[in-house]
Amino acid sequence: MSNQILNHFLMPITRRPEVIMVKGEGSYLWDNNGRRYLDFIQGWAVNSLGHCPEVVRRAIVEQSARLLTPSPALYNEPELELAELLSRASGLAQVFFCNCGTEANESAIKLARKWGRLHRNDAYEIITAQNAFHGRTLASMAASGKPGWESLFPPPMPGFIKVPFGNAEVVESVITAKTVAVMIEPIQGEAGVVIPPDGYLQRLRQITKRHDLLLIVDEIQTGMGRTGAAFCHQFEGIQADIMTLGKGLGGGVPIAAMLASEKASCFSYGEQGGTYNGNPLMTAVALAVSRVVLQPDFIARVGSTGRYLLERLKQLANRHECPEIRGRGLLAALRLPGEYAEEVRDRCFEHGLLINAPRPNLLRFMPALNVTIQEVDKLIEIVEESLNDLARFKGPIALSQK
């Protein structure tokens, strides 16, 4: 089938390879031609236990035979259990469930504005970082710092102040009477796995405390064990006021959450909600997934597999003159010496490997959290083969040109 035919009824939102994915199992995906791919994208860091794991399938089958959607105005069992589990794991008092990360961030923004109205004399401005990614609704796009986004769908939602990522002193310098919160990713995922200097989140915590502001951490990509801690900000030993989760929380099904401390949790009846929010089918799956991925042993293994991945990437980087590798746990990136990441990605695809190229010179790896050492070895082998292919076609000199 040609791309034109495949795209005929679908709005064109991104360029996709001309195959249809039909089956997944663990770290592998199969297309409609029976080709197998080693998957280091995993639904965009979503399938925390790989494709179609037993845990998720069983939760879907059992819950779907019991109760799908009573109504968001009624309690259900998995929702209550999941809320308690996430609250205990994070130290945050209360949870609001929703359907995607963007909606969780939208909810966090609303909660912060409500809190500002109650406690900070109607303050509503939120300080966010350049190159941040917080989602695709109008408010979460305005909160994001993706270059070019501010002019996409004018007028942009007001109330967001941008600062460079990683510099806490600049944050303090832009605080005014209108400021209500600071919203930050502990590691910027979509920007290319950008890790801030040690102590950054601690300093943001001190500054927000000193000025009586809320600290919002967007853990949609970095949470739920991905970085080798339950939640990435815990590496700095801090407690946030608001945290958003998504992606890995559902292990492949659409669910997200916004958690808040007792101090910040200030919605009144009618101010936030949604038809599918907290529905038992999705919360039952997230509960089953969370019970696995929040186990200390499981998280420790993410850390050790992550260190192995970084070590292997470092060796590869040395062999191919790549200037930098970065990562934490199983969220990693390799910076290439030139702007040919998409060519490498496409070569890898031809060799049966799915990876992401978030920037022209950067490859990103976000495998299942239970990926094996053998699968990491296979990744390295295929990336290396693809780099060698490109060097052969184009010559190493052409490759290293910017």
Q: Hey, which residues between 46 and 105 contact ligand PLP (CB under 6 A)?
A: 100-102, 105
Instruction: Tell which one of 220, 243, 260, 366 touches ligand PLP (CB under 6 A).
Output: 220
Stretch that binds ligand PLP, among 184-192, 235-243, 279-287, 337-345 (CB under 6 A): 184-192
Instruction: Tell which one of 221, 227, 305, 386 touches ligand PLP (CB under 6 A).
Output: 221
Residue 133 to residue 142: CA distance in whole angstroms:
10
Query: DSSP string of 221-269?
Result: TTTTTTTSSSSGGGGGT---SEEEE-GGGGTTS--EEEEE-TTT--PPT
Q: Hey, which residues between 317 and 336 contact ligand PLP (CB under 6 A)?
A: none
Residue 17 to residue 30: CA distance in whole angstroms:
13
Q: Report helix, strand or coil for 21.
A: strand
Does the active-site annotation cover 146? no
Instruction: Tell which one of 185, 241, 343, 375 touches ligand PLP (CB under 6 A).
Output: 185
Q: Hey, which residues between 239 and 268 contact ligand PLP (CB under 6 A)?
A: 246-247
Instruction: Tell which one of 79, 125, 218, 343 touches ligand PLP (CB under 6 A).
Output: 218
Stretch that binds ligand PLP, among 150-158, 213-221, 291-299, 343-351 (CB under 6 A): 213-221
> Is 196 one of the binding residues for ligand PLP (CB under 6 A)?
no
Residue 116 to residue 129: CA distance in whole angstroms:
20
Size of the residue set binding ligand PLP (CB under 6 A): 15
CB of 146 to ligand PLP, least distance (A): 11
Residue 392 to residue 381: CA distance in whole angstroms:
16
Instruction: Tell which one of 189, 192, 251, 329 touches ligand PLP (CB under 6 A).
Output: 189
Q: Left, alpha or beta for 286 (phi > 0: left; psi -120 to 50: alpha)?
A: alpha
Structure-block tokens of residue 59: 């939760």
CB of 46 to ligand PLP, least distance (A): 8
Q: Which residue is nearest to ligand PLP (CB)?
A: 101
> Is 227 one of the binding residues for ligand PLP (CB under 6 A)?
no
CB of 219 to ligand PLP, least distance (A): 8
CB contact at 8 A, 36 and 30: yes
Residue 172 to residue 216: CA distance in whole angstroms:
15
> Is 29 one of the binding residues for ligand PLP (CB under 6 A)?
no
CB of 104 to ligand PLP, least distance (A): 7
CB contact at 8 A, 376 and 309: yes
Q: Report helix, strand or coil for 17.
A: coil
Choose the catalytic residue: 40, 160, 241, 247.
247
Choose the catalytic residue: 97, 160, 218, 241.
218
- Closest CB to ligand PLP among residues 246, 251: 246
> Is 106 one of the binding residues for ligand PLP (CB under 6 A)?
no
Residue 102 to residue 322: CA distance in whole angstroms:
33
Run of H or E residues at 94: strand 94-98
Residue with tokens 């919160």: 181
Choose the catalytic residue: 40, 96, 97, 133.
133
> Is 195 one of the binding residues for ligand PLP (CB under 6 A)?
no
Q: Running DSSP on this structure, what letter comes out for residue 12?
A: -
Q: Hey, which residues between 119 and 158 contact ligand PLP (CB under 6 A)?
A: 133-135
Structure-block tokens of residue 19: 């195959």
Q: Hey, which residues between 355 and 374 contact ligand PLP (CB under 6 A)?
A: none
CB of 193 to ligand PLP, least distance (A): 11
CB contact at 8 A, 35 and 350: no
CB of 136 to ligand PLP, least distance (A): 6
- Closest CB to ligand PLP among residues 123, 193: 193
- CA–CA distances in Å: residue 88 to residues 79, 82, 93, 261, 279: 14, 10, 8, 12, 21
Does the active-site annotation cover 133? yes
Helix axes 296-319, 280-293, angle to 10 degrees: 70
Adjacent-strand bridge partners of 373: none
* Catalytic residue positions, numbered: 133, 218, 247
Instruction: Name the residues that contact ligand PLP, by CB under 6 A.
Output: 100-102, 105, 133-135, 185, 189-190, 218, 220-221, 246-247
